[in-house]
Amino acid sequence: MTERAKVVVIGGGIAGCSTIYHLTQEGITDCILIERDELTSGTTWHSAAQVTNFGMNQTMVGLKSHSIALYKELSEDPEYPINYHHADGGIRLANTEEQMEGYRHFASMARGMGVEFEVIDAAECARRHPLLETDGLLGGLWDPMDGDIDPAQLCQALARRARNAGAKVIRHRPVTGLTQRKDDSWIVHTEKGDIEAEIVVNAGGYRCNEIGAMMGVSHPVASMEHQYFLTEPIKAIEEAGHRMPLIRCPISDYYSRQEKNGLLIGFYEQGCKTWGMDGIDPNFTNALSPDDPERVIETFEGAMARMPAIGEVGIHTIVNGPITYTIDGAPLVGPIPGKRNAFCITGLRAGLGEGGGHGWLLAQMIAHGEACYDTWCIDPRRFTGHATVELTALKAIEDYQNEFRFHFPHEHRPVGRPMKTTPLTAVLEAEGGHFGVVNGWERLEYVKPSADFEEEHSFRFTNAHDIIADEVRAVQSGVGLTEVSGFNRFEITGADAHDFLDRMTCGRLQRTEGRVGLSYLLNHQGMVKAEATVANLPGGRIWYGSAAASEYHDMDWLTQHIGVDEDVQIRSLTNDMTILVIAGPKARDVLAGAARGDWSNEGFKWLAVREAFVGIAPATVMRVSFSGELAYEIHVPNQSLRAAYDALRASGAAHGLRLFGSRAVESMRLEMGFMHWKAELLTEFTPYETSLDPFVKMEKDFVGKAALAAHEPKVKLVTLEIDSDMAPAHGGASVMLGGRVVGTVSSGDWGHRTGKNIAMAFVEKALASEGHAFDVDVIGQMLPAKVISGRIYEGAR
């Protein structure tokens, strides 16, 4: 007999158990969790199960806070209590001042989520953890809520609550196939019959790609072997009178927590090892890999040097099991790209500690279409076609080797590069180009002054500051050229294309051929979903352009809203074309010297678009500017990109043409008050809260209109001037007033044309008026700041 459910969750580890429990909390009780063996029989059962509040952004902190609160409630349930060592505290160690400043930033960021971290010195680290030696130690970050939990008990408690709410939990029932019907519902084939489902969730842990293959997708998830040791009892722990705080050490690549009266010590050794790359034994369940202590000797010695008591006792157990990683270390939680009614929650390398929050956010997405936080940092669509398992494995090794070493601003680690390049990448590199990575694409950040220049990464202004200032001056006073690789570009055609886009965007849609407009798309909650440049080309073709990272995200959103009777076709040109940008007062002269036609202000006005030839290269030219200077975007097919570049360089020679990069653009866009997708443009805020009022036309119908009309704005995006030349305010920094958090920085940088330290921030609406004064917590220093005009530089455009 065929079973039916609204949602079927495949996988019975922490990911699946958290998801089905939270689905019931969101009102979806018609759901089934199906597990091939016993609950927790994959990675979950052997997890070290540490529960920390630390996260690299506010979404991660928020979901971890939810996990902690949920786990504490479960542990106190009189009917089914579980073992949770709550609030033992934990220290992340540091031996450089740069690490300490990073911790101060993360403390500032977490404060905006109601989480209080403390940056402490080496002596205080030793006082709180008496097993620590402080040689070479500067201090650390104290998390008072750090602890650990019993993984099996946690999952059983979540499953029990889900069952009590009406959900089903089925064990020992392997899934053998997935079939999607024409109405986008699913048939889940199992060894014991089919289950019809409206929605499926892949919570398959290290088997996620076995499940993915059943629906024709591959997830960028790879597994690493991970070992931890359990020691015999340690006398100092027995005599301490309190539980030992947790330790995470980027100096010696280990962590430790108390286990009974000994320690559990885990290792992130440099000679690490991937797992399961050539397939996974179907019988690998409740199982481990063979012990391999030789591999972690060097790391273990570092741990003993920091905590000598370890060397005084024996090791009674070694655990070596697989844990999953993605390309950037954050999990995949959300819609599966290119599929409808399909979600995943996988790649949870720290699954137990944060799984409660991941399931919470995923359940909200399934039930409501969106979560309470912007979830881009965990969205599966943040990776696109380059995201193979092979690349993931290389990045997993790199991430594993740097487990407790956070990324500094503008730090792009080298493994897996270059992945996506254009015909100009090598050319720009030969000219001294320094590159960052955007959605796998190598993108020019700045031109190095010498071949041996290396940026010293820091949360302060770095030694690249003057290089970027020089590039900005070149653009402001003359003309600059840069490449924008990977820009997302869709060609939309069909008789209903304009009406479709008009419904999708909240403002006036530009419909005139030869003209360009800026549009914003909202979700069904009335929050900002996407930003797009809409260009109207000959033959009824519309180009939809958006951020490079949004390629899969925007395609899903658009295609899912095409009506069954609408004549609309969408074709991606993202990987076929690249943009060259020329900007500065002499930009028109350079373009006129490289391309036939009337490029005068009258002949080619602001927000115009035209097809032309740049040299011998066919191109689509738009007069738009992200810098505020006179500028042109030149969109060129990749096979002709070098020809267009050479023509512009030849024309620009007489005008002092200089190369500039994305870091200069970042400085200039802040001076103009222009926003970045997933910095300022978030699903947590409406266009009114994001200071996009001119782009909303309530007299028309659009997706999200009713919700927007009913929403009372609580915050406002403002531009701040910070009275300091020490450091920029990085995203997440807390805006303070009278000792209270009243806002959060979304992005910041130095404005080289205006000589101002600029930040954008969401602050309480009542405090958003120009001239209002605050303090901004920048790497632990309260710096004076005030609200200024959103546009502080008037360029020529």
Extract the tokens encoding 482.
């840069």
Extract the tokens encoding 431.
């000219």
Write out pLDDT tens, residues 609-638. Answer: 999 999 999 999 999 999 999 999 999 999
Q: How confident is the model at residue 177 (pLDDT cuts 50, 70, 90)?
A: very high
- Cis geometry, peptide bond prior to residue 308 (ω within 30 degrees of 0): no
Extract the tokens encoding 249.
């050490």
Question: Mean pLDDT, to the nearest integer, of 202-215?
Answer: 98
Write out pLDDT tens, residues 532-565. Answer: 999 999 999 999 999 999 999 999 999 999 999 9
Q: Is the pLDDT of residue 52 over 80?
A: yes
Under 8 Å between Cβ of 334 and 343: yes
Under 8 Å between Cβ of 757 and 742: no
Under 8 Å between Cβ of 752 and 76: no
Write out pLDDT tens, residues 438-496. Answer: 999 999 999 999 999 999 999 999 999 999 999 999 999 999 999 999 999 999 999 99
73 Cβ neighbours under 8 A, 6+ residues apart? none
In angstroms, the CA 41 to CA 44 distance is 7
Write out pLDDT tens, residues 572-599. Answer: 999 999 999 999 999 999 999 999 999 9
Q: Is the pLDDT of residue 715 over 70?
A: yes
In angstroms, the CA 65 to CA 80 distance is 22
Mean pLDDT estimate for the chain: 97
Q: How confident is the model at residue 570 (pLDDT cuts 50, 70, 90)?
A: very high
Q: What is the pLDDT of residue 796?
A: 72
Q: How confident is the model at residue 1 (pLDDT cuts 50, 70, 90)?
A: low
Q: Is the pLDDT of residue 302 over 90?
A: yes
**Residue 291: φ, ψ to 5°:** -55, 145
What residue has token string 């002596």? 123
Write out pLDDT tens, residues 64-92. Answer: 999 999 999 999 999 999 999 999 999 99
Write out pLDDT tens, residues 731-774. Answer: 999 999 999 999 999 999 999 999 999 999 999 999 999 999 99
Write out pLDDT tens, residues 633-674. Answer: 999 999 999 999 999 999 999 999 999 999 999 999 999 999
Q: Is the pLDDT of residue 377 over 70?
A: yes
Check: pTM over 0.85? Answer yes or no. yes
Write out pLDDT tens, residues 261-275. Answer: 999 999 999 999 999
Alpha carbon 657 to chain centroid, angstroms: 35
Under 8 Å between Cβ of 593 and 654: yes
Under 8 Å between Cβ of 237 and 258: yes
